[in-house]
Amino acid sequence: MQIAYVDGPRFRRSLLAACGYAERRRQDLNRINVFPVPDGDTGTNLALTVRAIAEQLRSNADRDVGAVARRAAEASVLGARGNCGMMLSHFLLGFAERVGSAERISTHDFGCALASGVERLTGALERPVEGTMLTVMRDTAEAAHQTRTDDFLPFLERILAVARTSLARTPDLLPALRKAGVVDAGAKGFVSLLEGVVLFVHGDPLVEAAESFDSAPDAAAVAAVDYPTESETYRFCTEALVRGTDLPDRDQVRVRLQGLGDSLIVIRAEGLLKLHIHTDDPEAVFRYLRSVGTLTAHKAEDMRAQHEVVERAAASGHLTLARRPVSVVMDSSGDVPDDVRRQHGIHVVPLMLMEGERALRDRVDITAEEFHRRMQDGGPLPTTSQPPPGAFVEAYRAAAQDGETVLSVVLGSALSGTHTSARTAATAVPDADVRVFDSRAASALLGLLALKAAELGEAGVAPDEILETLERIRDRSGIVFTVDTFDRLLASGRVGKGRALLGSLLNVKPILGLARDGKVVPVGKVMGRERLLPAVLDLLAREIPEDHPVRFGLVHVACPEVIEGVASALRARFGEVDVWTLPATPVIATHTGPGAWAVAYLVEDPL
């Protein structure tokens, strides 16, 4: 039977079939992902992108093909992950723009829309590279233009045949592919989308199709390519979504970020801006984006660490998916340096800061440094709140893509209901192995425990043993902190008015800590700032066993010069120990106030 046109329902069903088929190619695409970075995640990124499209279309009932194309393009922008996802989004935006508000389209219209998608994608790329998804898309669009038939079945079969031939040529165009003996992963993902459509039109079940090439892809293809590659020297794959009413255009963003990285792709749609860049300084990118709009989502993945995971998997002969054995999730009340967190692939669920009716996500909508400056300027400060229910669910799903087991290390249950939210969310992700650990801590101690969990996972320690080790370490580790004034502790209800007034009058500086159950307790006090550090050092010396290795995490609220002195004193007292310092996260800072600082200590098992 001839198919003379495609309307909304037909296009929607075809896209759903394409997305489902391409998603099942995830592992094959991860195995052959060597360009632009051999990090083994192209299949995962494409799967997440097409899943977002499918979720939008399943509830769609539009009759016009233009409306369906527009919905698919919008969903792809919001759900785009990685280079391939961003490229597919640009292509679909161009496709939808050409289709416009059409009720139905012919094969000629379809071919014009493909060409429009390629044109938009080409214009969006900073440096278009041949031998990638772009090449196969262009060859497919040219084949569509040259195919003279009004029947969609032979039309689709013809452009699929050309796409497969173009895909087979990609190693001839890209030396990295030729060296690894594979085709381009992103391009193969695009071909998979076309294959899904053709299978659907034929009425065939979407079963495993015979591979035209790479039927037994080399499991070590990704690992065989060194990182950094000749074409890629930057470390972090960085993505962000910004919303606003007066966002810069694509060229303005390019100029502003020039010199910060490469592989820059910018999507500018109505009211939003989506960005992908490979860079060594993700925070500089995020700072700029916060200055132009509301940063609603962002991530920075360590491509070097991802490649190391692939290398280990290839060495073991089990590269079915480039995943960590264990992926760690923590909430934003934990403090750990950004570069350390990214290196170990730790996912973060932001807690909320409430300013009246306005909700800010901790360390997403406002950085620690920005928040500290606002505290010093005075004025009302926000209250804090748990993450919304879906935040942990979303984080667990993302972490499950990265790791075989998800370990969630969260704010102590005695301090917040966040722990309960984290446990409830774990039951909402039944297809993932999620374990929730009560840190009985906050701030730098929570961060140290999350880091330890990630390190143990990378060392091949089983999840159950990691949890046992964390419990053992947690029970002999701790955190002590002090505040410069009692104002914020009084506002949070952690001290009474009488004690706060007396302490202020007598210039008493409290030393506080966390009990074994995670509750805040006083552990000492001194008269005057100058006596604080010696008292804290003496307290730590009593608490830390001499025969155990120890590492420290130091945080401060708007007093970097103080915390540097604390770090020097710790090294003088305990030797050349691991010490890192950073500004306290906003949800902690708002409860302690400017001048507060803390020392967290993680006591390891004896050597």
Q: Which CATH class is domain 478-603?
A: alpha beta
Domain 6-202 coded CATH 1.20.140.10 = no
DSSP state of 605: P
Mean per-residue pLDDT, 180-195: 95
Closest CA to 240 of 194, 289, 304: 289
Architecture of domain 302-471: 3-Layer(aba) Sandwich (3.40)
Residue 506 confidence (pLDDT) above 60: no
Banded pLDDT at 486 (limits 50, 70, 90): low
Check residue 398 and give its pLDDT. Answer: 86
pLDDT number for residue 78: 85
In the sheet with 434-438, reading across from the earlier edge strand, the strands are: 347-349, 324-331, 403-410, 434-438
What gap in Å lies between CA 31 and CA 183, rounded to an integer?
11
In the predicted model, what is the mean pLDDT of residues 386-406? 88
CA-closest candidate to residue 544, choices 478, 597, 598:
478
Which pLDDT belongs to residue 34? 80
Distance CA 255, CA 390 (A): 36
Is beta strand 508-514 parallel, antiparallel or unpaired with respect to 478-482?
antiparallel
C-alpha to C-alpha distance for 318 and 220, rounded to whole angstroms: 9
CA distance 407 to 453: 8
Which pLDDT value is given to residue 59?
86
**SS3 assignment for 382-421:** CEEECCCHHHHHHHHHHHHHHEEEEEEEECCCCCCCHHHH
- For residues 311-337, one letter each, b for 16 or more C-beta atoms within 10 angstroms of the residue's C-beta and e for the rest, the string is bbbbeeeebebbbbbbbbbbbbbbbbe
Query: Does residue 128 carry a pLDDT above 80?
Result: yes
pLDDT in tens, 38-57: 666 788 889 989 998 998 99
Q: Tens digit of pLDDT for each residue in 212-268?
A: 333 333 444 444 444 444 445 788 888 888 988 899 998 999 999 988 998 898 988
412-463 residue pLDDT tens: 999 999 999 999 999 999 989 999 999 999 999 999 999 999 999 988 899 9
| Residue 172: pLDDT over 90 | yes
3-state secondary structure 248-312: CCHHHHHHHHCCCEEEEEEEEECCEEEEEEEECCHHHHHHHHHHHCEEEEEEEEEHHHHHHHHHH
* Mean predicted confidence (pLDDT) in 317-330: 69
**Exposed, middle or buried by CB within 10 Å (0-12, 13-18, 19+), for 148?**
exposed
CB half-sphere exposure, 367, CA atoms < 13 A: 18
pLDDT score for 152: 96
Helix (H, G, I), strand (E, B), or coil: what is residue 347?
strand
Cβ atoms of 353 and 384 within 8 Å: the answer is yes
Q: Is the pLDDT of residue 496 over 80?
A: no
Looking at residue 199, its pLDDT comes to 94
Tokens, residue 416: 């917040």
Provide the mean pLDDT of the chain. 86
Segment 91-95 shows an average pLDDT of: 96
The confidence score (pLDDT) of residue 508 equals 76
Q: DSSP of 144-196, one letter per residue?
A: HHH---S-HHHHHHHHHHHHHHHHHHHHHH-HHHHHHT---HHHHHHHHHHHH
Given this model, what pLDDT does residue 311 score? 59
C-alpha 425/C-alpha 428 separation (Å) is 5
Specify the domain boundaries for CATH 3.30.1180.10 within the chain: 478-603
pLDDT of 500 reads 43
CATH 3.40.50.10170 residue ranges in the chain? 302-471
Span of 42-46, 332-336, 350-354, 482-486 with lowest mean pLDDT: 482-486
State residue 343's pLDDT score: 76
The span from the CA of 141 to the CA of 348, in Å, is 41
Which residues in the chain are classed under CATH 3.30.70.260?
232-301
The CA-CA-CA angle for residues 80, 85, 88, to 5°, reads 115
Q: Where are the alpha helices (DSSP H) in 477-559?
A: 487-491, 497-505, 532-543
Percent of the chain residues topping a pLDDT of 70: 88
Q: How confident is the model at residue 33 (pLDDT cuts 50, 70, 90)?
A: confident
pLDDT in tens, 6-21: 999 999 999 999 999 9
Write down the pLDDT at residue 65: 97
Cα angle: 292, vertex 296, 297; to 5 degrees: 115
Lowest mean pLDDT among 46-55, 103-112, 123-132, 308-317: 308-317
Backbone dihedral angles phi then psi of residue 89, each to the nearest 5 degrees: -60, -45
Residue 142 is encoded by which pair of tokens? 């040219």
Residues in the chain, total: 607
Minimum mean pLDDT range among 64-78, 439-453, 487-501, 562-576 = 487-501
Does the bond joining 594 to the residue before it have cis omega, within 30 degrees of 0? no
Query: What local confidence, expressed as pLDDT, does residue 212 receive?
Result: 34
Judge whether 386 and 355 are in contact, CB under 8 Å.
Answer: no
Per-residue pLDDT at 79:
84
Model pLDDT, residue 505: 40
pLDDT at 498: 42
Top-confidence residue, 584 or 272:
584
Per DSSP, the residues of 30-66 read HHT--SS---S-HHHHHHHHHHHHHHHHHT----SHH
* CATH architecture assigned to 232-301: 2-Layer Sandwich (3.30)
pLDDT grade, residue 487 (50/70/90)?
A: low
Nearest to 371 by CA among 394, 340, 350, 341: 350
Instruction: State residue 315's pLDDT score.
Output: 55
